[in-house]
Amino acid sequence: MSTVDADRSLYLHAELLPNIRQITLYVSLPRTKALDGVQPRIQLSESRNAVTVSLPEPFDDVAETIKLPARVSEASRRALSMTTTPATARKPPQSNSSSHDYSFRMQMDTSEQAQAPCNEVMDDYVPWTAADMSPLTRIRCRGCGAPFLGSPAPKSTSTSDRDKDKENDWMWKDLPSGNWAEMMDFWHCHKPDSHEEDPKPEASAALKLEEQNAQIKGYGASSHLKAIGGTVLIDVATFLLAESDCIGLRLTKSNEEEENPNPRTSGRTLECETCHAVIGMEDPSVSGWRLVKANVSLNTDQDLDTENPWQSHPIEFIVAAQLLELIERESARRFVIHCGQKTGVLLWVFNPDLHYSNSSSGHSVNAQQAMKVLFQHTEDVDKLLAPELGKVSPLSVEELELPQFIFQTILQDLRRSNEMLPLSARRFNEWNVGLLSRFSREKTKSA
């Protein structure tokens, strides 16, 4: 038996750098006397899609294999065979350093397609859209399985058999992007071809028809979003329902909120009546209840007899989708994330679409998709979001407020991903480096 820790003596991590068409491979060895001077042996597979790293004798029983995010060139085989020195040896080793990190650069194969442009990648990052739903889709508590959807009211007064069959069917609709209201206000103020001052009868008729169409299509001056009975409205992070359509939920307010009301938050929280888990929040502005996607599971299949019809998504999928939506809408990359408290996290989305693979426990050896982020703790959220009069904020940031339990989960995910990275890749100046896994509709369909 070797003196090397048999549980995790080798750690591999690979990241795709699409702009320069290269893959960076990190190989980490524990910093022990037994491994001082030991050079890992790296072998590229015949297909050039995977690498295997092993140690020489007497540690030849230690080996690890991962699949690379993309196929590499034949020249990479020669580059991997060259003798290298640990990355930590480039600088004086730190006293608390626990590993030797080797790093290698491999060129992508010329036959590999370049990564899709950002605006094309952005189309498939949101889990659970109206396209995924059917009239029989149901929502339940992620924890205890208690149902949250009742039976919607009939959509007509007809008593025909066809209408009775549709009595329990739900309509699912996607909400427009977050800047929809602002865009509609702008359009209404600057719309072309106004007929208001034209005395001709046909001009008045055209104006009346235009106003009717504006109200029907939702871009009239008096139009506003409102929860509709029998319809579930879907945005990036929540499901919006009428209160009358929900069952198994109750409104509540925590003692902390009563003692220290948060001016940022309107409405009360929604709690599962069965397990008392926080499910969402009341939204008085739209006369509805919002169920947070991260706290529910859905049956999107019409056949309830399938082996596992209920589906849920990791919380980081939902938060990553919110960040991507803000990037697309506001062209922002830096965010202040908080849960209504004074402290929070300053997060910089360094790469919104990273493909990587690693050999850490709990992760697949196949390539995965994530956002590469830089983050740091901030003691005063308001100081970044609303600097003092006469002072300019050093950063241009957007705000993302999350429910407390989701905020705490994301903090744990960021710290866990930071610890998963090789030691030499965990810090960038004063920032911590982390990964947030993101949803991909294309991969879900192919799975």
Residue 41: per-residue pLDDT:
85
Token pair, residue 209, equals 């028809």
Amino acid at 62: V
pLDDT tens across the length of the chain (447 residues):
344 443 347 889 999 988 889 999 998 887 777 777 677 888 899 999 999 988 887 777 788 899 999 999 998 888 787 545 555 444 433 334 677 788 889 999 988 775 544 444 445 889 999 988 988 889 999 999 999 987 665 554 444 544 544 555 789 999 886 665 555 555 556 555 554 555 555 555 655 655 555 554 554 445 567 888 899 999 999 999 999 999 999 998 754 455 455 544 455 899 999 999 999 999 998 889 999 999 999 987 655 555 668 899 999 999 999 999 999 888 889 999 999 899 999 999 999 989 999 887 666 667 889 999 999 999 989 888 887 766 666 567 899 999 888 999 999 999 999 998 988 889 999 999 999 999 987 655 544
List all residues 6 or more positions away from 205 whose beta carbon is below 8 Å from its beta carbon: none
Query: CA-CA distance, 416 to 14, in Å (whole number)?
Result: 17
Packing angle between helix 404-420 and helix 315-330, nearest 10 degrees? 90
Backbone angles phi, psi at 83, to 5 degrees: -75, 130
Coil, helix or strand for 374?
A: strand
Residue 65's beta-bridge partner residues? 52
Strands 334-338 and 398-401: parallel
From the centroid of its chain, how far is CA 400?
Answer: 13
Token pair, residue 273, equals 């009546």
- Residue 388: half-sphere exposure toward Cβ, Cα within 13 Å: 2
| CA-based end-to-end distance of the chain | 39
- Taking alpha carbons only, the member of 443, 446, 447 closest to residue 124 is 443
Helices (H), 101-142: 118-121
CATH number listed for the domain at residues 128-175+225-311: 2.170.150
Query: CA-CA distance, 271 to 266, in Å (whole number)?
Result: 16
From the centroid of its chain, how far is CA 324?
Answer: 7
List all residues 6 or more positions away from 242 whose beta carbon is below 8 Å from its beta carbon: 227, 228, 229, 230, 231, 287, 288, 289
- Taking alpha carbons only, the member of 194, 223, 222 closest to residue 207 is 194
